[in-house]
Structure 1
Amino acid sequence: MKTNSIIMLTGALFFASCTTQKMNNSLNYPETKKVEHTDEYFGTKVQDPYRWLEDDMAEDTKDWVQREVAFTNNYLANIPFREELRSQLKDIWNYEKIGAPFKEGAFTYFYKNDGLQAQSVLYRTDKNGKTEIFLDPNKFSEKGTTSLAGVSFNKNGNLVAYRISEGGSDWNKIIIMNALTKEIIDETIVDVKFSGTSWLGDEGFYYSSYDKPKGSELSAKTDTHKVYFHKLGTKQSADRLIIGGEDFKRRYMGIGVSDDERFEILSASEATNGNELYIKDLKNKTDFIPVQKGYDFNTDFVDSKGDYIYALTDKNAPNMRLVKFNINNPNVWTDVIPETENVLSVSTGGGYIFARYMKDAVTSMKQFDYDGKLIRTIDLPGIGTAAGFGGKEKEKDLYFSFTNYITPGTIYKFNADTGKSEVYQKPNVKFNPENYVSEQVFYTSKDGTKIPMMINYKKGTKLDGKNPT
């Protein structure tokens, strides 16, 4: 962004703030009625005069929303410099954005946005280098209100199940397609909520949902999740209930299948933090084996090698640790990557484990083998944020994205055996990052804590304390 753009934007925001303060005294806001409503919580009475607004199906609620939207749009339309700001920001943000590629079957897939598309488009490239659009969510509906909620391929990459959300709803549909021909091959699965899709060979996949609520889908309570298995070529009405209901009542549940297709992993929870973990050994035809009960900790399946399961957990490790255990003795956990002072997240690919740490507000990456031996600390392109380093076990070329305050999201190809990386795809932007500097410094606070700070400036700027920030 040019210096005069920054000055203009700052001045505009200041002017808007002052103008808003003056206008607040004269604006006639839409009237919001109050009603007599009181709730009692643990002996304390709490008045709630706006309780009527919680009924999203009521006509007076719809009327109130429409009046509020009209009022807001009218106010914004009268800001004299709004279009100029919009034009500048549009020009700055209008550059190509590309996601890290991933391989499925004979194709390499990646998401790309031309800069101003409402949703990123999923492309794929074959072994001959031919690239084509695979899924374009912008064309799912005439008004562009249907979005792509998730994509899941089977192990061979010839089948895909993708979820769509219509009008921003949490209630999704699953569309099943032959990934090679892009032909829809089965009936659409409907009324799916808070679910992924996990394939079991070419037979079918697991998904999760609730019983469809009566009344409003937006505000009705859904608290009993159920996991189903959909077999290809059958009707949804014939889908088999795997687990869930009154005999195993949980608010959230999902089943995944390990890459070697030996294990089914069931994660269940009652809130967004803390989960139970159960694992079924398909080879030995066991029932679900409890690995962790209760909701005091988060423990997530990462990978499996033979009889051993690898899991990321915060049990006795608030900053997370990677552990492994034998499926025949799931109560004995051994550290693979112990907890450190920095929070850990992991990915796998190329036969290795990649540990991602957020250290002093920037990314640090380390590579380990499955015994927890450090292979290398990965050299990143600079000080910033990196993500990726995931892929199939036999794929030695992995991909990651890197960005910081002067570097737009750039994709790198990383060789898991050599540790070498190179630029894979770089977006075209309307400024030269080489003209700028992004460096990290530390400021010592009053109590001695060192606070990390990023300072970004044009090369040649004299750092004498007199520059506007």
Structure 2
Amino acid sequence: MPRTLFSALALTTVLAGTAVAQEGEYLDYPETATVDQVDTYQTPDGTEEVADPYRWLEDSVRTNPDVAAWVAAQNEVTNAYLETLPGRTAIEDRLTELWNYERFDTPEEDGGRYFYSRNDGLQNQSVYYVQDGLDGQPRALIDPNAWAEDGTRALAGTAPSPDGSMVAYLVADGGSDWRTIHVIDVDTGEVIDDRIEWAKFTGVSWAADGTGFYYSRYPAPDEGAEFTSLNMNQAVYFHTVGTPQSDDVMIMSDPDNPELGWGATVSEDGDFLVLTSWTGTDGNGTYVLSLTEPNAQPIEIFEGFGNNHTYITNVGSRFLFQTDLDAPNGRVVAVDVMNPETRADVIAEGETPIQDVGAVGNHLIVERLEDAKAAVSVYDLDGNLVRNVDLPGIGSVGGFGGHLDSPETFYTFASFNRPATIYRYDVETGESAVFREPDLTFDPEDYVVEQVFFESTGGAQVPMFIVRHRSVEATGAQPTLLYGYGGFGIAQLPTFDVRRLQWMEMGGVFALVNLRGGSEYGRAWHDAGRLQNKQNVFDDFINAAEELIDLGWTTPDNLAIEGRSNGGLLIGAVVNQRPDLFAAGLPTVGVMDMLRFNQFTAGRFWVDDYGSPQDPEMFEILRAYSPYHNVAEGEDYPALLILTADTDDRVVPGHSFKYAAALQAAETGPAPTVIRIETRAGHGAGTPVSKLIEETADKWAFIAFHTGLDLTNGLPQLGE
């Protein structure tokens, strides 16, 4: 039927005909206007015209009242539908109980003080604490819960000064990637007047004398374009504490190459600044700048953007870097910055990929992945193996930060059925001791963690974790949730998520598949799932679904799928390619328009993984799987709950808006296609606990209803 653009004044009319459906009935969606927008792209054989009828939905909710009205109309339909689903309130109540446990982050020691975050259970945001010495009395230093009544202002990063007297901290508002930097006096708890705006994709690194710090920021965007415009001309600055931002000194920029991003880290001894340059998400250049020599110029250590290099530590001019240059699984090399062409392996490439390397107590702590599971080893600074770190089982680790002159470090261990426990580790003795361990309202032993392997396209052996309550068996038709990501070299590991635990507590099976495109098997695994190989990711996910069916866990009528961001793209693509294989889908903050993703905010960085739609060869590949452009008219689709947020300036919500509009306008069968649009939230980081609980209750009620998990009489009591 014809679509006409509506304004906020027409909202009541649009909603007047809305009816909430049960299974097998059709929803009456809001009308969505179309526009006569056609773009021309270059192909290997000439040109191709591509219609984009929902282009107007790319505008920001904050600046376009018609988009705001469309969002309100869609949320009205979605909320009314979700309210009809059985078990939603019970899920929210039980999840609130499960979430209510004490959580800590790994401590950081500076100047004899220990800094860490703690959440007492249901606080919307974790509180930042400090204590003097290991046995000192903790005191709250920064409490983000006091910043906004709805909990949507978040602490997005902290950096104590070397002597522990000050902390620079980053604030995120409403889920945006933009950061404001402040400084607090640790002794008095007073916030200093310093305020730095328009920082993004940055850390904070203090000068050795504590007079100030290095950070990265962009020029202020045009008014009204803060959440959509491309991020260009990033530069590194030095800020002296107690001075206005206008006095900050620019350290590194490249106006001739505005697409370059820059980061800066002060070396272990404080004598050098390690600068990294990047144009996307894969590969960086590396420079070292002396901070002690007047008028020093940066020394190039690694050129170009074809490989990834990370500074580990240095002793004088001998620098150690983690790199995948000539080593797809990674290695540690020593470089003399006075003669950067001179370099030698300290830890050679091995059979399993290196994920991270820390330098503590004159040792190197190397985290590797063995079939997507954590393994940790300790070496001396010359690369001699000292010992392996004993871990409690199948899981993931984090932490291992510290100082080169101190043997003390902290790390976390977690798994699908175990929240993070924090350990204090003595590098000299090899002893681990529990530092913080949560009290739980469930028994981890009630849950079983297994790993299977299956064959995918090209003969690849792909691992998948399957997790469930011990009482759940493979009866052939268990409600099952399959999660995947598959991109940007990001490994999907056995981590704890209380939301997934509740799905399993209700009787659902949870599966996580380690798709190509991640880094589970090093750079080669990443390369096998990007650019012209992106279809491998979708094939892996489809084959994972079929493996779950072949193993007797589920059927297409009982299988739900979920992915976030690049994983949202995954869900959109596989639903288009195999709508018959799934009962329900949760595409969340997804990249859905593969022909325009590089036109907004950070989207241009993703060309490393996706390729550019302006490249004729890549255009054909992107056009072939773009979720927005490949809705299969006339096919019965699974039930879809699309999720996004109005302040997402990483993957702008227009991706999901346009995708939802295209699906609702097509003939895709009786299953609902609804979109849930969170307000004052972004890509996910810093989302208040209260909003996470509400969102999860909506998601689990939705997929439970559509996968046959019966909640009409309340939540199942397994094992009783």
TM-score (norm 2): 0.59
Query: Does 2:439 match 1:428?
Result: yes
Deviates more, 1:42-51 or 1:197-206: 197-206
Distance 2:360 2:98 in 1: 35
Partners of 1:245 and 1:398 lie apart in 2 by 37
Indicate if the aligned counterparts of 1:105 and 1:156 stay in contact, CA closer than 8 A: yes
Shift of 1:327: 0.8
Match of 2:213 among 205, 210, 232: 205
> Which residue number corresponds to residue 151 of structure 2?
144
Is residue 2:233 matched to residue 1:221?
no
Q: How does 1:98-247 map to 2 (within 5 A)?
A: 98-127=104-133, 128-200=135-207, 201-215=209-223, 216-247=225-256
Cα shift at 1:277: 0.8
Q: Are residue 307 (structure 1) and residue 317 (structure 2) matched?
A: yes
* Per-residue CA distance 1:147-169 (angstroms, 9 max, x = gap): 11111122111121111011222
Matched residue type, 2:121: G
Partner of 2:398: 387
Matching residue of 2:657: none
User: By how many angstroms is 1:399 displaced?
Assistant: 1.4
Q: How does 1:245-284 map to 2 (within 5 A)?
A: 245-247=254-256, 249-284=258-293
- After superposition, residues 25-104 of structure 1 pair within 5 angstroms as 25=26, 27-42=27-42, 43-56=47-60, 57-104=63-110
User: In the TM superposition, what is the alpha-carbon distance from 1:406 to its structure 2 partner?
Assistant: 3.2
Which of the pair has the greater relative contact order for Cα pairs under 8 Å at 6+ separation?
A: 2
Q: Which residue of 2 aligns with 1:320?
A: 330
Cα 1:452–1:221 change in 2 (3 A) is: closer
Code of the residue aligned with 1:263 in structure 2: it is F
Map Cα deviations across residues 10-60 of structure 1 (whole Å, 9 max, x no partner). xxxxxxxxx85423x1x1111111010111111211111111111212221
Larger helix proportion of the pair: 2
Q: Which amino acid aligns with 2:226?
A: E
On the 8 A contact 2:183/2:191 being kept in 1, the answer is: yes
Which segment is superposed worse, 101-110 or 295-304?
101-110
Q: Which runs of 5+ in 1 are unaligned?
A: 1-18
TM-fit CA distance, 1:351: 2.1
Give the Å deviation of 1:103: 1.0
Percentage of pairs with the same residue:
34
Structure 2 CA distance for partners of 1:119 and 1:20, relative to 1, 3 Å: farther
Whole-Å Cα distance in 2 between the matches of residues 37 and 462 of structure 1? Answer: 51
Cross-structure match for 1:297: 307
Greater shift, 179-188 or 357-366, is seen at 179-188
| Structure 1 position 124, deviation (Å) | 2.0
Taking a change above 3 Å as real, the CA distance of residues 441 and 178 of structure 1, as seen in their structure-2 partners, is: closer
- Residue 359 of structure 1 aligns with an amino acid whose one-letter code is E
SS for the counterpart of 1:279 is strand
Contact preservation (8 Å) 1:401, 1:411: yes
1:312-341 Cα deviation digits (max 9, x unpaired):
111111121111110111122211111122
1:282 CA drift (Å):
2.3
Q: 1:457 to 1:44 in 2, by over 3 A?
A: closer
Contact 1:172 1:191 in 2 (8 A): yes
In structure 1, the residue corresponding to 2:24 is in which secondary structure?
Answer: helix
Secondary structure, counterpart of 1:267 in structure 2: strand
Superposition deviation, residue 465 in structure 1: 8.7
Indicate if the aligned counterparts of 1:445 and 1:451 stay in contact, CA closer than 8 A: no
1:429 and 1:37 map into 2 onto residues whose CA distance is 55
- The SS at the match of 2:78 is helix
TM-score normalised according to structure 1 size: 0.88
Q: CA–CA distance in 2 between the matches of 1:456 and 1:69? A: 33
**Aligned residues of 1:405 and 1:456 also touching (Cα < 8 A):** no
Higher strand share: 1
Q: Distance in 1 between matches of 2:244 and 2:107?
A: 34
The answer as to whether partners of 2:199 and 2:218 remain within 8 angstroms in 1 is: yes
Question: Which residue identity lines up with residue 369 of structure 1 in the other structure?
Answer: D
Asked if residue 349 in structure 1 is aligned to residue 354 in structure 2, the reply is no
Query: CA distance change for structure 1 residues 219 and 257 in 2, over 3 Å: closer, same or farther?
Result: same
